[in-house]
Amino acid sequence: MFYLKWTQYELVTLEMDALYTEVDEDGWVQREVGVTGDGEVVHQHTPNISEPGWFGLCRLAFPRQSANISRAEFEALWNSVA
């Protein structure tokens, strides 16, 4: 797995300040967390089991498959939702 942070600079249609994604080795998004500028989690999503990665960014091309955040940072956001 690798972890990516996306902002409105990379995704112009993004409706929150940042989107954090967990991506598997094949490029499929496994989980995503959306965060406001104040650090509030406003979106948390996992894909449909029968169609992994069908939502959001879908499958990422190999050039973008390098982490720009840590797993610990992603997990902290994911687990912050009550």
Span 15-67, pLDDT tens digits: 899 999 898 877 778 889 999 999 899 988 876 665 554 444 455 555 455 67
| Chain-centroid distance, C-alpha 35 | 10
pLDDT at 76 over 90: yes
Q: What is the DSSP letter of 81?
A: -
Q: Which residue has the tokens 């509030």?
A: 40
Say how far apart CA 3 and CA 18 lie, in whole Å. 13
Give the global pTM.
Answer: 0.76
Q: Contact 20/45 with Cβ under 8 angstroms?
A: no
Q: What is the DSSP letter of 74?
A: H
